[in-house]
Amino acid sequence: MEAVDTLICAAHVVPVEPHVVLHDHAVAVRDGRIAAIEPTAQALGRFDAREVVRLDRHALIPGLVNLHCHAAMTLMRGIADDLPLMTWLRDHIWPAESRHVGDGFVHDGSLLAMAEMLRGGITCVNDMYFFPEATARAALRAGMRSALGVIALEFPSAYAADATAYLQKGLATRDAYQGEPLLTFCLAPHAPYTVSDETLRRIAVLAEELDVPIHIHVHETGAEVAEGLAEHGVRPLERLRRLGLVGPRLIAVHAIHLDQDELDFMAREGVSVAHCPSSNLKLASGIAPVAQMRERGIRVGVGTDGAASNNRLDLLTEMRSAALLAKVMSGEASTLNAFEALEMATLDGARALGIDAHTGSIVPGKWADLAAVELSSLETLPCFDPVSHLAYAAGREHVSDVWIAGRARLAQRRLTGLDEEDLRDKALWWQKRLS
């Protein structure tokens, strides 16, 4: 018999690649990677596993990929609700950040966020925030796969004095963590309205030199587009194109207010979109034209945004909202079916980050980044179609187990590497500081 570390036997395995459900199958894990996917009886006869995990009432899926987040902002969850984006930012978030954000804030907030995400089946997060070195430490402590943003802004903060300093510090963090298998990096200019032409040109060059994605908020509100046009004479996306940022590396976050020519252009250039439906709805920013994007072949992944504007880091909810909004916007109930929604929340996010050779689907050779969703509770019975339930019925409360690179990070709904009481204490301590 072949030795493996873990054999995970599930009622349903949903590999995403391809769109099938494998009933009564097992996933064999060796050295953190998927060694095989076979019918359970066959796998039990072939493999000698140090651990056998039985998931007789579950769907085993690829770990979810959160394509856009500001993890540390979890400490500002609910600090300013029911406000439009720029009022929320200028009058509440930016002042709070100027008073409180530092290495400790970012580390503790990111750790709290990662605990929440792990409990909801998220195994990879694409993050954009100050002090990425603190987020890196939190990610390694949580054992969570993370793409960390080298953020750039023109205005000073506790982290850096100007855009040059932001880039220098962020790139130094990237250099310090080169070789960490759980960590990758993106260049993360905040938005066209907060970053100058000179800095954006430099980022375009750096992205090519370093072979990394560019992660940026784009066309989030109608006001942003109008102000960009008034200041620069062109809409923000066209400005980014002229500065060399639009192409297969670009992850356009939100991407709500787009005309038909912009959609066609994004498709031709291979741009990816991070769709954040709950944040878009809560801030009344608008509804992204996801059905039109997908019709053109634009890759769309799913993000939570930060807990300060959502207020949940719950990608199963985002997946459901994305599917329902696409249907009502297109007028077709068949738009964005359950399998497609699941692919958006897993493999498409990995593709946008350039890590799909390693994660995002259950395929031999990839890292064993997996989540188990129990489908036997009253609210998920009867179950005629596991994938339908994943998209429309199940919630993060049904996630029972999570593995990242083959290591259990959530086991029977308990975090394995983090102290939940310690996280509660940290959250309450910061609540008093921010109050």
Span 312-365, pLDDT tens digits: 999 999 999 999 999 999 999 999 999 999 999 999 999 999 999 999 999 999
Same domain, 14 and 74: no
Whether the bond between 337 and the residue before it is cis, its omega within 30 degrees of 0, is no
Q: Report the CATH number at residue 249.
A: 3.20.20.140
Residues whose CB falls within 8 Å of the CB of residue 79, separated by 6 or more in sequence, listed in order: 92, 93, 96, 308, 434
- Bridge-based pairing of strands 64-69 and 122-127 is parallel
- The Cα 178–Cα 175 span in angstroms is 5
Residues whose CB falls within 8 Å of the CB of residue 76, separated by 6 or more in sequence, listed in order: 93, 96, 306, 307, 308, 434
- Is residue 342 within 8 Å of 390, Cβ to Cβ? yes
**Centroid of chain to Cα 126:** 5
Check pLDDT > 90 for residue 85.
Answer: no
Per-residue confidence (pLDDT) for residue 217, from 0 to 100:
98
Per-residue confidence (pLDDT) for residue 186, from 0 to 100:
98
Q: What value does the mean pLDDT take over residues 174-188?
A: 97
Q: What is the pLDDT of residues 287-307, one digit of tens each?
A: 999 999 999 999 999 999 999
Q: What value does the mean pLDDT take over residues 238-248?
A: 98
280 in a domain, yes or no? yes
Same domain, 268 and 169: yes
Continuous segment of H or E residues that includes residue 4: strand 2-13
Per-residue confidence (pLDDT) for residue 149, from 0 to 100:
98
What tokens were used for 148? 């960390």
**Centroid of chain to Cα 104:** 23
Same domain, 7 and 21: yes
What tokens were used for 175? 């250099």
Q: What value does the mean pLDDT take over residues 260-272?
A: 98
**Helix (H/G/I), strand (E/B), else coil: 253:** strand
276 in a domain, yes or no? yes
CA–CA–CA angle 139, 140, 142 (5° rounding): 65
Q: What is the pLDDT of residues 169-180, one digit of tens each?
A: 999 999 999 999
pLDDT band for 1, please (50, 70, 90 cuts).
Answer: confident
- Is residue 145 within 8 Å of 205, Cβ to Cβ? no
Q: Tell me how many domains the chain contains.
A: 2
Question: What is the gyration radius of the CA atoms in the chain, in angstroms?
Answer: 21
434 in a domain, yes or no? no
On the 0-12 / 13-18 / 19+ scale of CB atoms within 10 A, 179 is: exposed
What whole-number percentage of the chain has pLDDT above 90?
96
Same domain, 85 and 57: no
Q: Report the CATH number at residue 35.
A: 2.30.40.10
Check pLDDT > 90 for residue 133.
Answer: yes
Tell me the β-bridge partners of 147.
Answer: 126, 184
- Terminal alpha carbon distance of the chain: 60
Check pLDDT > 90 for residue 88.
Answer: no
The 10 Å Cβ neighbour count of residue 403 is 27
309 in a domain, yes or no? yes
Q: What value does the mean pLDDT take over residues 384-405?
A: 98
- The Cα 401–Cα 387 span in angstroms is 18
Nearest to 352 by CA among 308, 292, 293, 283: 293
Same domain, 92 and 31: no
Check pLDDT > 90 for residue 142.
Answer: yes
- The Cα 309–Cα 67 span in angstroms is 15
Nearest to 25 by CA among 1, 50, 60: 60
155 in a domain, yes or no? yes
pLDDT band for 84, please (50, 70, 90 cuts).
Answer: confident
Per-residue confidence (pLDDT) for residue 67, from 0 to 100:
99
pLDDT band for 86, please (50, 70, 90 cuts).
Answer: confident
Q: What value does the mean pLDDT take over residues 361-376?
A: 98
Per-residue confidence (pLDDT) for residue 94, from 0 to 100:
87
Same domain, 56 and 87: no
Q: What value does the mean pLDDT take over residues 182-196?
A: 97
Per-residue confidence (pLDDT) for residue 35, from 0 to 100:
98
Same domain, 162 and 128: yes
The per-residue pLDDT of the chain, averaged, comes to: 97
Per-residue confidence (pLDDT) for residue 83, from 0 to 100:
87
- The Cα 318–Cα 66 span in angstroms is 10
Per-residue confidence (pLDDT) for residue 397, from 0 to 100:
97
Task: Tell me which residue range forms the domain holding 13.
Answer: 2-62+368-415
pLDDT band for 228, please (50, 70, 90 cuts).
Answer: very high
Same domain, 162 and 27: no
CA–CA–CA angle 15, 20, 21 (5° rounding): 80
Per-residue confidence (pLDDT) for residue 151, from 0 to 100:
98
Per-residue confidence (pLDDT) for residue 419, from 0 to 100:
96
Same domain, 71 and 38: no
What tokens were used for 373? 């969703």
Same domain, 327 and 338: yes
